Amino acid sequence: MNGDLGTAPVELTGKLVTPDDRRYRLLRSTYTTVGRPAVVVLPESADDVAAALRMARERRLPLAVRSGGHGLSGRSTNNGGLVIDLSAMKRVEVVDRASRLVRVEAGARWAQVARALAPHGLAISSGDHGNVGVGGLATGGGIGWLVRHYGLTVDRIRAVEVVLSDGTATRADPGTDPDLLWVMRGAGSGAGIAVAFEIEAVELRDVGFAQLAVPVDRAGGTLRRWEAVMARAPRELSTAVTLSSQGASTTAFITAVVASDSPPVIRRALEPLLGIGRVMVQQAHLVPYTELVSPAHLHPNTGQMPSTTTNGLFTEMGREAARALVAASAGPSPVLVQLRSLGGAVHDQSPSAAAYAHRHQKTLGIASVFPPDDRSTLAAAWEPLVAYTDGAYVNFESNPDEATFARAYPGQVGARVTELWKRYDPDGMLRGRPG
């Protein structure tokens, strides 16, 4: 261990990785950001997390917390600080099969969760990639392949085991600390370090999976027809759209997931999508849910995909908004535009039920750029869309600032989040101000 870090806490013996360790290369970075931390801590328990927090505080080291490492903002690593990497805390346990209650540690990745639950015929809606970590997604929201059927991941969280910035280990549930449970479901990054969740799963084994490609007109009519279909769609259907442009031609690549193993249900859910335009490619299969968040996705995160991302939620995709989305994907400096369908079970929850308050919007729009394009390119492409958005999702934002906070946590929700962050982390240690 480097001398300037002092003597390691006894609880962390063998759990510290410094630059001279051969493991450091695979632990220093996130998927999007190469970091150079002074030390990476690999805790195996809540006590270890508390010891790591104490070490960061005593040595006044900048702190970063990582579950999976996809974190688009790059805040899951740092330069010269301490990173708490939860990847060793990855146990998945069915606590009560009758009520479908599952305990998942925060360092697990969603491919591991899906694989562990499959023999029980259970699933959790969990993002769209198997390598995403449980902790980051489950404290920010959780918009996954089953979102309209299941709701957000945070909607099914029944309890969270948390280590607060002062090292206190606690359990947040409706009976013991409802305020902490509320803020951990949507704004957890500023309140505490989640080490495990109790989540209600759903009965699910196989799903309908389809991929379509449809030409997109410049006026955005195709996108508006897609949105209209999704507004009437059964809850079993969730879709994601990626816009790809080649010269003057733009194509919508649509991935559709139907949360059912019944061919008639799948067929009825998918058929209206065929009417949004001239479908060029059509593939439909019945697949295990584990294929959507596959173990094949698991890989080290070494900063291999530098990118800058922003997003906005849309209540209605009017003509101008649809036109602007197509223009962003096909302009002189095109950006990657993705759209996710919302509604269904997401709208069941009250806006005040959790720190994720966006319960009426129909679509999430995401825009990303990759080197050599940068933040300025993204800002220029996204600016025409800002006026049409109605809120934002914190997990798809590379440059969180006060404006992002106001969009992600509007009005009284933001005021309550701020108050609870100050209550549970008065020094702001989890927000980048080590005590």
What DSSP letter does each residue of 414-428 carry, written as one string?
A: HHHHHHHHHHH-TT-
Task: Name the fold adopted by 206-401.
Answer: Vanillyl-alcohol Oxidase; Chain A, domain 3 (3.40.462)
CB atoms within 10 A of CB 19: 13
List CB contacts of 15: < 8 A, sequence separation 6 or more.
41, 42, 43, 44, 48, 88
pLDDT of residue 74: 74
Taking Cα atoms as reference points, which of 411, 409, 363 lies closest to residue 389? 363
Q: Is the dihedral of CA 376, 378, 381, 382 positive or negative?
A: negative
Are the beta carbons of 30 and 303 closer than 8 angstroms? yes
pLDDT of residue 72: 73
- Three-point CA angle 427, 432, 433, nearest 5°: 40
The span from the CA of 210 to the CA of 251, in Å, is: 16
The span from the CA of 248 to the CA of 215, in Å, is: 11
Which pair of tokens denotes residue 178? 């409802």
> Thinking of the domain 3-87, which architecture would CATH place it in?
2-Layer Sandwich (3.30)
Q: What is the DSSP letter of 9?
A: P
Q: Tokens 């960061």 sit at which residue?
A: 56
pLDDT of residue 70: 61
User: CB-hemisphere CA count at 13 Å for 87?
Assistant: 21
What burial class does residue 288 get, using C-beta atoms within 10 Å of its C-beta: 0-12 exposed, 13-18 middle, 19+ buried? Answer: middle
Average pLDDT, consecutive stretches of 10 residues, N- to C-terminus, the chain (435 residues) = 65 95 95 95 98 96 85 85 97 98 97 97 92 94 96 98 97 97 97 98 97 96 98 98 92 97 97 95 91 91 92 96 96 92 97 97 97 93 96 93 95 97 96 57
Taking Cα atoms as reference points, which of 111, 293, 266, 120 lies closest to residue 203? 120
Are the beta carbons of 177 and 418 closer than 8 angstroms? no
List CB contacts of 98: < 8 A, sequence separation 6 or more.
none
3-state secondary structure of 209: strand
Torsion angles phi and psi, residue 417, rounded to 5: -60, -45
User: What are the domain boundaries of the chain?
Assistant: 3-87, 92-204+415-426, 206-401
The pTM assigned to this predicted structure is 0.95
Which pair of tokens denotes residue 111? 């491919």
Are the beta carbons of 310 and 210 closer than 8 angstroms? no
pLDDT of residue 288: 97
3-state secondary structure of 229: helix
Which pair of tokens denotes residue 276? 């949004």
The span from the CA of 404 to the CA of 399, in Å, is: 8
Measured in whole angstroms, how far is the alpha carbon of residue 252 from the centre of its chain?
23
pLDDT of residue 283: 81
How far is the first Cα of the chain from the last one, in angstroms, to the nearest whole number? 23
The span from the CA of 261 to the CA of 44, in Å, is: 38
Q: Which residues of 24-33 are buried (b: 16+ CB within 10 A; e: fewer)?
A: beebbbbbbb
Which pair of tokens denotes residue 24? 């450091």
pLDDT of residue 127: 82
Q: Tokens 């920010």 sit at which residue?
A: 140
The span from the CA of 84 to the CA of 63, in Å, is: 8
| CATH class of the region 92-204+415-426 | alpha beta
101 - beta bridge partners? 96, 200
